[in-house]
């Protein structure tokens, strides 16, 4: 019967029907896409695992891992057991921990290269050389701090620019492990000469 219908239709009418069918199919596909965009959730209402947002890594995770390792030890098994408790990706957490370790090492190296650290190290070596008592409670620092803050000093212009108060403060701070104030060139040269004369 379909053959009879096709025979009865002229060529132009067949083309129109075919074209209408194509347009109808295109509109149907477009309508399905629009519905999918408007309603991104699947029919069951659950977001597939591949499209779920992963929880972001934050300071809490880092703090908890460090706390766990302090309490339980720093071996690999303890690290992995701490990471298993979080819903963040393991690789991301390990990457952050590795970068934090690298930053901490760089910071320590910078501190070791600082002038304050070198000054403290030089003084400690000198105190060891003269066999000063190893266990003290900053007695020398307290004495130098008292001298720096309670003595009256001549004006630096009278001593060729040497500022004795600044020198005593510098020495006191170095013995307390505090940052030393910057000395002017005359005071610095004087302190270096005095230090070298004692070694």
Q: Mapped to the 3 state alphabet, what secondary structure does the chain carry?
A: CHHHHHHHCCHHHHHHHHHHHHHHHHHHHHHHHHHHHHCCCCCCCCCCHHHCCCCCCCHHHHHHHHHHHHHHCCCHHHHHHHHHCCCCCHHHHHHHHHHHHHHHHHHHHHHHHCHHHHHHHHHHHHHHHCCCCCCCCCHHHHHHHHHHHHCCCCCHHHHCCCCHHHHHHHHHHHHHCCCCCCCCHHHHHHHHHHHHHHC
Q: At 50, is the pLDDT very low, low, confident or very high (cuts 50, 70, 90)?
A: low
What is the distance of C-alpha 171 from the center of its chain?
A: 34
Q: Please report whether residue 121 resides in a domain.
A: no
Note the pLDDT of residue 43. 54
At 181, give phi and psi (nearest 5°).
-70, 150
pLDDT over 50 at 5, yes or no? no
Full residue range of the structural domain in which residue 84 is found: 59-113
Q: Is residue 54 part of a domain?
A: no
Percent of the chain with pLDDT over 90: 15
Looking at the fold, whether 16 and 67 belong to one and the same domain comes out as no
Same domain, residue pair 107 and 163: no
Q: Which residue has the higher pLDDT, 9 or 132?
A: 132
More confident residue, 180 or 34: 180
Has residue 49 been placed in a domain? no
pLDDT for 190 beyond 90 = yes
Q: What is the pTM of this model?
A: 0.35
Q: How far is 62 from 95, CA to CA, in rounded Å? A: 11
Are 25 and 67 in a shared domain?
A: no
Query: Of 75-84, 111-120, 167-176, where does the model show the most confidence?
Result: 167-176
Q: Does some domain include residue 12?
A: yes
14 lies in the same domain as 72: no
Is the pLDDT at 110 greater than 60? The verdict is yes
106 & 149 share domain: no
pLDDT tens figures, 144-189: 888 888 888 999 999 999 999 999 999 999 888 888 889 999 999 9
Q: Mean pLDDT in the chain?
A: 74
**Is residue 150 within 8 Å of residue 169, measured between CB atoms?**
no
pLDDT of residue 120: 80
How many domains, the chain?
3
Q: Which of 44-53, 102-111, 125-134 has the lowest mean pLDDT?
A: 44-53
Structural domain contains residue 50: no
Name the token pair of 148: 């720096």
190 in a domain, yes or no? yes
- The confidence score (pLDDT) of residue 38 equals 46
The predicted structure's pLDDT at residue 54:
53
């Amino acid at each position: 019967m379909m053959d009879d219908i096709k025979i009865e239709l002229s060529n132009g009418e067949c083309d129109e029907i075919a074209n209408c069918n194509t347009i109808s199919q295109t509109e149907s596909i477009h309508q399905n896409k629009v519905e999918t965009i408007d309603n991104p959730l699947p029919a069951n209402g659950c977001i597939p695992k591949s499209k779920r947002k992963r929880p972001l890594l934050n300071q809490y995770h880092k703090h908890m891992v460090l706390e766990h390792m302090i309490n339980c030890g720093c071996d690999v098994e303890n690290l992995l057991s701490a990471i298993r408790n979080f819903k963040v990706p393991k690789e991301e957490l390990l990457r952050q921990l590795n970068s934090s370790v690298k930053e901490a090492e760089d910071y320590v190296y910078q501190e070791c290269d600082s002038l304050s650290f070198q000054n403290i190290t030089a003084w400690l070596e000198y105190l060891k050389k003269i066999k000063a008592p190893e266990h003290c409670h900053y007695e020398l620092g307290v004495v130098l701090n008292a001298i720096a803050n309670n003595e009256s000093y001549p004006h630096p212009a009278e001593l060729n620019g040497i500022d004795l108060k600044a020198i005593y403060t510098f020495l006191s701070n170095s013995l307390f492990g505090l940052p030393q104030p910057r000395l002017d060139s005359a005071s610095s040269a004087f302190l270096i000469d005095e230090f070298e004369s004692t070694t």
